[in-house]
Homo-oligomer: A and B are copies of this chain.
Amino acid sequence: MRLTTKGRFAVTAMLDLALRQDNGPVTLAGVAERQRISLSYLEQLFGKLRRQELVASVRGPGGGYCLARDARNISVAQIITAVDEPLDATQCGGKENCLDEHRCMTHDLWSSLSRRMYDYLDSVNLHELMVQQRDKTTHRVVVHDHSARPGVSEMVRVQL
């Protein structure tokens, strides 16, 4: 699983969509303007998201995109893997041609690690992000954490 700004764009756009789909389909032009992402680029991303059946499209005036399922049922991992090319990552791609003493340590290690990464991102869904974002914009309740780790902090309390 790759993690770049491309996936970030997709997650951001999906969140914008999720927060606004109550008033019917959301146009890409709107998302592009609000999130400052190129419209044509968004079209490419949403082409993939639609083919992965994460969103559904409505053509014509008044059209746009909606989530294809409940926000609770769309994970961040699904969004990212939908738009990112599948990072092959193993040079011995299943062929086991790395017959040295370690017998493909690379493959074992990375598949395990990337599996754990995926599991984590798969445990975060769109609905949680919506709640988190609503809390921020409406109540502006931001909890700063200055306790444990010095240097990096500023965490936000997520309401459940």
Q: Chain A interface (Cβ within 8 Å of chain B)? A: 1-5, 8, 11-12, 15-16, 34-36, 76, 87, 89, 91-92, 98, 100-103, 105-106, 108-113, 115-117, 119-121, 123-125, 128-129, 132-133, 136-137, 142-143, 145-147, 149, 151-160
Docked complex Cα distance between A129 and B157 (Å): 12
Which residue from B3, B15, B113 sits with its C-beta under 8 Å from A11? B113
Docked complex Cα distance between A149 and B98 (Å): 29
Known A-B contacts A36-B91, A36-B98; the reply to A105 vs B15 at CB < 8 A is yes
Give me 11 A-to-B residue pairs in the complex whose CB atoms sit less than 8 angstroms apart, sorted by A's number: A2-B3, A8-B110, A11-B113, A35-B105, A35-B106, A36-B91, A36-B92, A36-B98, A76-B113, A108-B133, A128-B156
Which residue from B12, B92, B153 sits with its C-beta under 8 Å from A109? B12
Q: Report the nearest B residue to A33, measured CB to CB.
A: B100
Determine how close the nearest CB of chain B comes to the CB of A102; give it in whole angstroms. 6
CB of A116 within 8 A of CB of B146, answer yes
